[in-house]
Amino acid sequence: MVRVTVPATSANMGSGYDSIGIALELYNVIDLAENDHIDISDKNGQYVPQDESNLIYQCAKRVYDECGKPLSGLTIVEDCAIPQTRGLGSSSACTVAGIMGANMLLGEPLDRNAVIDLAATIEGHPDNSTPAILGGFCVALLENGHVHHVRVPVHGAIDFVVFIPDFQLSTEKARAALPKTIDHHDAVYNLARAALLAGSLTTGKLENLDVATGDCLHQPYRFGLIENGEDIVREAKKLGALGAFISGAGPSIVAIVYKGDRDYITRAQELCEKLYPHWKAVQLRCDE
Ligand code: HSE
């Protein structure tokens, strides 16, 4: 039996559409063992697909196939804290768990970069799976099946507060809402902000974070799919966040806050209780 622990991730961070992501201290813990049939269960009684349509199983099988090893079945036991379909990398965590688990069962035939490449290729974008594997804040670019990546140290003065709604939004639907082409001005708008974001997070130039997390490539098209999403971003900033944006494809919203602002989480929770009962606020550290 092998155990894989995979963190939640928040992709895009506003300006870094499909290229920037951060790992957060919230985990799925998955146990895998070879078996002569498929036996999939969830420790907390949550619904999980119990046949070959299970994403963890499919990704594990892909590793066995690519390594030319037969697989007749797996025992998979899931213990998942990452809420599903909320923009916090739950499907990426399954993809990574399947690949890493199978790789461990096979004696690590894939090196770290091959794991990163395969996970991003299966996902179609690298900004959840790369920080899920490496931890921390990552910049990643997927091209021709290969991820060019860097893990950038995050300045120690920040924390994250995640506003999670009680409704779901599929990544497929949130990606389908985006235009096929964009204006040159919009490309430059995000390019400058994504570069500024990486530099500012590293150096601790935190006063840049509000402008650096600005975005016109995906959020304006997605807010219409997230009831109260724009309100939460606005209110999160009013409460003192350094920046706030849609987490991944949504619907969750992430606020970057000063670590020293210990009351932020209380203010955020009061905001949800009073005005946005379909949302809850949770404080999470960056998974280093
Ligand atoms: N970058 C991806 C998107 C993340 O915004 O669609 C999906 O989790």
ipTM over 0.95: yes
How far does the centroid of ligand 1 lie from the alpha carbon of residue 168, in Å?
Answer: 14
pLDDT of residue 153: 87
pLDDT of residue 116: 98
Residues 99 and 119: beta-carbon distance below 8 Å: yes
pTM for this entry: 0.96
Rounded CA-CA distance 22/129 in Å is 10
pLDDT of residue 213: 98
pLDDT in tens, 60-96: 999 999 999 999 999 999 999 999 999 999 999 999 9
Ligand 1 near 128 CB (within 6 A): yes
Rounded CA-CA distance 97/95 in Å is 6
Ligand 1 near 159 CB (within 6 A): no
Ligand 1 near 129 CB (within 6 A): no
> Quick check: helix, strand or coil at residue 94?
helix
Which pair of tokens denotes residue 30?
């998955």
- Which of 9, 10, 17, 253 has the most ligand 1 atoms within 8 A of CB, as the residue to mutate? 17
Ligand 1 atom closest to the CA of 178, numbered from 1: 6
Calculate mean pLDDT across residues 99-103. Answer: 98
pLDDT in tens, 12-40: 999 999 999 999 999 999 999 999 999 99
Residue the block writes with tokens 């402008």: 211
pLDDT classification of 198: cutoffs 50, 70, 90: very high
Q: Which residues of 198-213 are buried (b: 16+ CB within 10 A; e: fewer)?
A: bebbeeeebebbeebb
Ligand 1 atom closest to the CA of 18, numbered from 1: 1
Q: Is the pLDDT of residue 131 over 90?
A: yes
Which pair of tokens denotes residue 226?
């997230």
How far does the centroid of ligand 1 lie from the alpha carbon of residue 110, in Å?
Answer: 25
Could you tell me if residue 250 is left (phi over 0), alpha (psi between -120 and 50 degrees) or otherwise beta?
A: left
pLDDT of residue 266: 98
**Which residue's CA is the nearest one to ligand 1's atom 3?**
249
β-bridge mates for residue 80, sequence order: 28
pLDDT of residue 154: 87
Calculate mean pLDDT across residues 217-235. Answer: 98
Q: Is the pLDDT of residue 271 over 90?
A: yes
Q: Is the pLDDT of residue 115 over 90?
A: yes
Could you tell me if residue 108 is left (phi over 0), alpha (psi between -120 and 50 degrees) or otherwise beta?
A: left
pLDDT classification of 156: cutoffs 50, 70, 90: confident
| Pair type for strands 158-165 and 279-284 | antiparallel
Of the chain, the end-to-end C-alpha distance in Å amounts to 26
Which pair of tokens denotes residue 7?
């963190």
Closest by Cα among 169, 161, 128 to 251: 169
Q: Is the pLDDT of residue 125 over 90?
A: yes
**Which residue's CA is the nearest one to ligand 1's atom 4?**
248
pLDDT of residue 84: 93
**Which residue's CA is the nearest one to ligand 1's atom 1?**
18
How far does the centroid of ligand 1 lie from the alpha carbon of residue 12, in Å?
Answer: 7
pLDDT of residue 224: 97
Ligand 1 atom closest to the CA of 19, numbered from 1: 1
